[in-house]
Structure 1
């Protein structure tokens, strides 16, 4: 699977979700979403985190940037990818979930068990790790239960740093999910399918939350830089 540096961010260009999932499973990688904001606002720390792991094109901006480099990549939203992984592997792999408020993670597990009959979730916990001891206990539990796939929904870079720390003691497939548990359980509404399909999810978010205008203005700069071949 080919990759390219976009403002110093190593971003892979999978042709399909299936290719990305198979590559991650085979190589036991940490999956990190890359979008226009992460490319535009890349820092030394964020670049190093993504470049150590498997950065994939989560948004249309990353896809367009890769295509400008001659790589044909599929857009793979992280909030969909983790469910694709579950759907493809729930009969053969084991899972561990970390993240969200207690009521959200409880609801997520209950919904997964209802939707994917027989799924083996070896354990789960909320994302509020308040001490080093709690983190040590989490890592010990993961090492003990040996899950094949671990989802961590805590936001970046916190989730990536935690996944890297766990991976040092237990090899598995990891994916950082941000607020995906909230979306999955319906506690946060995602853009309707038409907006997502036509790469206008950012527009829907802006219309729904006008306060995001300052954040979205930065995307204009991203597309100008992209047009000027600065990535």
Structure 2
């Protein structure tokens, strides 16, 4: 499958969740969510991280741009849903390792997964607060020893991607960066209701709930301009 470049950010135009799951199961690697903000604010570092890994469409802005490029079937795959689809697809056959969130949040995440996916093999987990280089190296060594099939890291970008790339040098797996998905999964953070998500208005819901986000989201007007005049 060929990648598509959007403002220098390369993304795979998957047409379904199943296509993505089949691809990553075969090729392994690091899944990186791509939305309008990441395309708009791509730096040399973040662009390089995305382009050497598996960028997928996580938002309506990226999906619209892909369709403008001729990929009419390109689908939006929210990262906060994708990781649970990966669990549902593979929990009976693969092993999992989770990193991220506060100590209480990661504990609740593991307990909830064990309740919802009976028999899931979680062979390691820890919070997202790596306080020293020694702690980080201990984590990498533990993964290299236990060899999980799937690794989820919820620490925010680009920190989570940089960590996954370090781990990948010692151990190949399916990796996904999750940002704040553990907080959403355990109910510590509320996601937008389904209607807002289905109508591609999740960003507006979050803005209404957190007006201070306007400083970030005002820049999306530039992205809308790029879409309107097909400048991507």
TM category (shorter chain) comes to over 0.9
Question: Secondary structure of 1:152's partner?
Answer: strand
Deviations 1:88-130 (A, max 9, x none): 1000010000001000000000000000000000010000001
**Is the 8 Å Cα contact of residues 2 and 14 (structure 1) preserved in structure 2?**
no
In the aligned structure 1, how far is the partner of 2:20 from the partner of 2:152? Answer: 16
Contact kept in structure 2, 1:32 and 1:50, CA below 8 Å: yes
Distance 1:217 1:44 in 2: 22
Equivalenced residue count is: 231
Using the size of structure 1 for normalisation, the TM-score is 0.99
* TM-score of the pair, normalised by structure 2: 0.98
Could you tell me how far apart the structure 2 residues matched to 1:29 and 1:23 are?
10
Write the deviation string for residues 10-61 of structure 1: whole angstroms up to 9, x where unpaired: 0111010011011011101100000000000010001000000000000000
1:100–1:179 Cα contact (<8 Å) kept: yes
1:80 counterpart = 2:81 = yes
For the Cα contact (< 8 Å) 1:57–1:63, is it kept in 2?
yes
Consecutive unaligned residues of structure 2, counting only runs of 5 or more, are none
Q: Tell me, which stretches of 5 or more residues in structure 1 are unaligned?
A: none
Misfit runs of 4+, over 3 Å: none
Q: CA deviation at 1:2?
A: 3.3
Correspondence for 2:18: 18
